[in-house]
Amino acid sequence: MNIQKQQAMRNVLIALSPMCLAAIYLYGWRFVVVLAVVVATGLLSEWLMARRYQLKVTESVFVSCVLFALSLPPGIPIWIAALGIAFGIVFGKMVFGGFGKNVFNPAITARAFVYISFGVPMTARFVLPQTTINWFPAGFGTWLTSADSISAATPLTTKAASYVELLLGTISGSFGETSALLIVLGGAFIIYKKAANWKIVVGSIGSFLILQTILWVAGHPNASDPLYALLSGSFLLGAFFMVTDPISSSQSTDAGRWLYGILFGLLTVLIRVFSVWAEGVTFAILLVNMFGPLFDHYFKQSKAKKKAKAKAAEGGAA
């Protein structure tokens, strides 16, 4: 299989590696099997579609697979994980013509599909981390935390975790979304390596905190402490690793990047607070993905018009 190399994608995989190790440490070796099945299925799906388009498989498929695996709850049935990534790669990427042409982020497309189609496994198969039993070897010494600890409760819904637990990830949640510290460190790495644009990240986090603070101060019953809301759920993983996807995000102008990030942050808060979906990140990303091409078109045209006016003014002055 001939795979197209992409250094930016390798940098993202490096940034995700600590989260993968943490997933094993917290929830057990089952994560490795889930990840292996997701990667194998995603790679096969892209290869079969790429053959029809006479294209190469790209290294970006590995990023999509790892992100999707990290977004899944530890108790997810493996066949659902495989079906989800196949849907995400085929319908979120390859039907548009492959890498560089897709409108939607493949990983978040896969997550949305399983979230809507298999609600119970996606929202009621969370387990307590192995660190609640022992700190070492913790998950390195088990397959998965005992099934009797399966619960639908996560910090986003219970609002009962401490800030230290949210930072370290010693809470129930998806494989790779619980440790805010590892996500921020990995996100800082890909920004440093220019695999993600900092303007989108800052716009996302800034708008999220502002609107969340307004609703919290106003006393809305579903609006929690802004810092707690920021650290819980999958918002940080989405802000650093998904909404910054160089293909499905707005990338042509700085104005487009800022607006794209701001819209993502606002939509996440609105969906979390006012809808029946406790976690609004998945749908917020899909919505802003649709606006990305529009922002690029509008701001590029606006820039071109300004340049044309400037040239015309210079010609008139001469």
pLDDT in tens, 37-92: 999 999 999 999 998 888 889 999 999 999 999 999 999 999 999 999 999 999 99
Residue at which a domain ends, from 133, 158, 182? 182
In a domain, 278, yes or no: yes
- Contact by Cβ (8 Å): 293, 103: yes
pLDDT of residue 148: 45
pLDDT tens sequence across 27-45: 999 999 999 999 999 999 9
If asked whether residues 140 and 203 sit together in one domain, one would say no
Q: Count the Cβ atoms, other than its own, within 10 Å of residue 78.
A: 15
If asked whether residues 173 and 56 sit together in one domain, one would say yes
- Cα gap 79→214, rounded to integer Å: 42
φ/ψ of residue 127, rounded to 5: -130, 155
pLDDT tens sequence across 141-178: 888 865 445 555 677 776 778 899 999 999 888 999 99
Q: In the numeric block, which tokens belong to residue 216? A: 């919290």
Residue at which a domain ends, from 182, 206, 228? 182
Q: What is the dihedral of CA 127, 131, 132, 137, to 10 degrees?
A: 110
- To the nearest 10 degrees (0 to 180), the angle between helices 78-92 and 30-53 is 30
User: Number of structural domains, the chain?
Assistant: 2
If asked whether residues 231 and 168 sit together in one domain, one would say no
If asked whether residues 240 and 274 sit together in one domain, one would say yes
In a domain, 88, yes or no: yes
pTM: 0.91
DSSP structure class, residue 238: I
If asked whether residues 178 and 207 sit together in one domain, one would say no
pLDDT tens sequence across 224-277: 899 999 999 899 999 999 999 988 887 778 888 999 999 999 999 999 999 877
In a domain, 318, yes or no: no
Q: Is the pLDDT of residue 318 over 60?
A: no
If asked whether residues 167 and 124 sit together in one domain, one would say yes
If asked whether residues 178 and 200 sit together in one domain, one would say no
In a domain, 189, yes or no: no
In a domain, 124, yes or no: yes
Q: If DSSP codes are grouped into helix, strand and coil, which group holds residue 190?
A: helix
If asked whether residues 109 and 207 sit together in one domain, one would say no
If asked whether residues 152 and 249 sit together in one domain, one would say no
In a domain, 262, yes or no: yes
If asked whether residues 33 and 90 sit together in one domain, one would say yes
- Cα gap 11→194, rounded to integer Å: 9
Domain of 240 in residue numbering reads as 196-312
If asked whether residues 109 and 230 sit together in one domain, one would say no
If asked whether residues 200 and 165 sit together in one domain, one would say no
Residues in the chain, how many? 318
- Provide the greatest CA pair distance for the chain: 81
